[in-house]
Structure 1
């Protein structure tokens, strides 16, 4: 059984939609998988957003979950951690370095190619090096910023738009992005077995 953890910011919008949609899609596809969700800046027990609940209910899915802050237990439980953005991925890995080999953005995991993967890894390493220099009070060379901008141009946008505070239409657009990636994830999981 594959255990997948979906992660966003507050665990009230994107990651609960991803969790609910994935559970339904995996069940329909006959894939033996469990799903949970959490947030890198979540408070335990917040209700999912009204628009996220509306989207899930419209598909006949449960929409009564509450938020969970990302914990060491979540990370240990998961075989695969799929975040909604690069910044969520960085937060997971910074807090839980042991998760680096199993943490991706959802879109990165299902869409990535080798050139984009190499550019993303180089970008993440450069950002980590720059943060270390900043923490040590060292000056960051202008060439590092130039190199970072070039790597950012080479890296596809793997983020799923944040609908927080938006209209139902904004949430529907985010749900459509999530569903498109989840279809690819289902295909990928099928091909692995």
Structure 2
């Protein structure tokens, strides 16, 4: 059973949409996965946004979701933590360094373009090398700075738009953006389920 935790800021807009929409798919397709969501700046027990709740209801989601502040118990529960933005990913890793190997943005995790995946891997290696150099008070060369700049431009924006305070149409656009990534995620979960049989 794969345990997935979606994370955004307040756990009222994006991550509850991702949780609800994926739970619908998991149930419909009989996939072995559990899904929850939390927020890096959430208040536990609060309601999710009215627009997110409306869209989930439209999609056929019958359960209720309330906001949850991310905590160690949720991080330990999760096999996979999928954030809505790179900022959320950094925050999760800063607060829970042990989660680094299982924390990705949703879009990053489902990316399937080999060139982009290679650029991500190169960037991660270079960032690690440069952080080590800085920790050892060594200078970072112009070539290294230029290389990281080129890699950053080869990688698309992995953030999901924040509909907070917007109309139902803005929320619908965000839900469609999330759904596109969930299609790829469901494919990965299905492949994982079939591989474990």
TM normalised by structure 1 equals 0.86
- Residues of 2 paired with 1:122 and 1:180: CA distance? 26
Matched, 1:107 2:107: yes
Counterpart residue number, 1:169: 169
Counterpart for residue 47 of structure 1: 47
Deviates more, 1:59-68 or 1:5-14: 59-68
Q: CA deviation at 1:77?
A: 0.2
1:27 aligned to 2:30?
no
Stretches of structure 1 that go unaligned for 5 or more consecutive residues are none
Task: Give 1:106 shift.
Answer: 1.0
Could you say which residue in structure 2 is the equivalent of 1:80?
80
For the residues of structure 2 that align with 1:17 and 1:101, how far apart are their CA atoms?
24
Matching residue of 2:149? 149
Q: Could you tell me whether the CA contact under 8 Å between 1:130 and 1:140 is conserved in 2?
A: no
Structure 1 residues 28 and 140: alpha-carbon distance in aligned structure 2, compared to 1, 3 A threshold: same
Matches within 5 A, 1:52-63: 52-62=52-62
- Quote the residue 1:159 is aligned against: 159
- How far 1:58 moved relative to its partner? 1.2
Per the alignment, in what secondary structure is the counterpart of residue 24 of structure 1? helix
How much has 1:132 moved relative to structure 2? 9.3
Task: Give the number of aligned pairs.
Answer: 192
RMSD: 2.5
Runs of 5+ in structure 2 lacking a partner? none
What is the rounded CA distance, in whole Å, between the counterparts of 2:47 and 2:142 in structure 1?
A: 45
> 1:158 & 1:147 partners in 2: Cα distance?
20
